[in-house]
Structure 1
Amino acid sequence: MRIELTRFRVNAGAQARVDEWMTFLNNHLAAVRETLEPEQMYVETIFSETSSGVDYLYWYSVQGTGGSLVEQSDHWLDAQHLEFWRDCIDDNYPPEDLTERVTMMPERVADAMVPLDSVPHSPKS
């Protein structure tokens, strides 16, 4: 399991587009969930911050290993995600990975974070 928190700088003037994208994601959570399993993404949360007049997005994720990359996806939502990324994320500002110091979660939660294909399924009656 990999846990990450990364800060990305938003392009100047792109905050309205960021707000539209966050609203879109919140309104299409079923489609978002369809994209998570192939990526082995167990938790993905996006935070925002404005500091000294500059907007940032933080991606927090808990991800398994061996998942597909968003760039390899043929899901319509991932295509829009990549378009959003090109429009809004400042490629001239390197992403900043925050350092994980400790992860605290109940063992049952950690044990539940496994690829879907390794979870035993109950036979349907």
Structure 2
Amino acid sequence: MNIELTRFRVLPGKTASVNEWMELLNSSLPVVLETLEQEKMYVETIFSESIDGVEYLYWYSIQGENGVEVKDSNHEIDKAHLRYWKECIDPDYAPQDLRPRVNMIPERIQSLMK
């Protein structure tokens, strides 16, 4: 099981596109959840934050081993997700991985994720 929290910087002027992207994911949740199965993605949450006028998106995920990469998916929602990613995420900003310090997932929940 892999637990991640990563920060990505949004390109300047892309707030409206980010809002559109998040609305697409929210409004298509049943289809999105279906795609997570093949990725062995147990939990995926996207957070947003603005610091000194710069917008960031944070991805929190808990993923199993040997899942299909989103870039290899044939689902239309994943293709749209990647198009928004290319449009909105700053490729010149190195993603910032936050280090987990404590994992508080009860064993009975962890066993369900395996």
User: C-alpha separation between the residues in 1 aligned to 2:65 and 2:24?
Assistant: 28
User: C-alpha separation between the residues in 2 aligned to 1:100 and 1:110?
Assistant: 16
Aligned counterpart, 1:23: 23
Aligned counterpart, 2:86: 86
* 1:60 to 2:66 alignment: no
Question: What is the identity, as a one-letter code, of the residue corresponding to 1:54?
Answer: V
Deviations 1:18-71, CA, capped at 9 Å, x for gaps: 011111111111010111011010000000000010000000000001001011
Alignment of 1:68-107 (within 5 A): 68-107=68-107
User: C-alpha separation between the residues in 2 aligned to 1:14 and 1:103?
Assistant: 34
Count of residue correspondences: 114
* 1:5 to 2:31 alignment: no
User: C-alpha separation between the residues in 2 aligned to 1:11 and 1:20?
Assistant: 15
User: C-alpha separation between the residues in 2 aligned to 1:79 and 1:26?
Assistant: 16
Q: Structure 1-normalised TM-score?
A: 0.89
User: C-alpha separation between the residues in 1 aligned to 2:3 and 2:105?
Assistant: 12
Alignment of 1:24-43 (within 5 A): 24-43=24-43
Question: Displacement, 1:107?
Answer: 1.4
Q: Which has the higher helix share?
A: 2
Question: What is the identity, as a one-letter code, of the residue corresponding to 1:106?
Answer: P
Question: Displacement, 1:113?
Answer: 0.6
**Partner of 1:99: helix, strand, or coil?**
coil
Structure 1 unaligned residues grouped into runs of 5+: 115-125
Greater than 6 Å deviation, 4+ residue runs: none
Q: Structure 2-normalised TM-score?
A: 0.98
User: C-alpha separation between the residues in 2 aligned to 1:37 and 1:104?
Assistant: 23
Question: Displacement, 1:88?
Answer: 0.2
**Partner of 1:13: helix, strand, or coil?**
coil
Aligned counterpart, 1:118: none
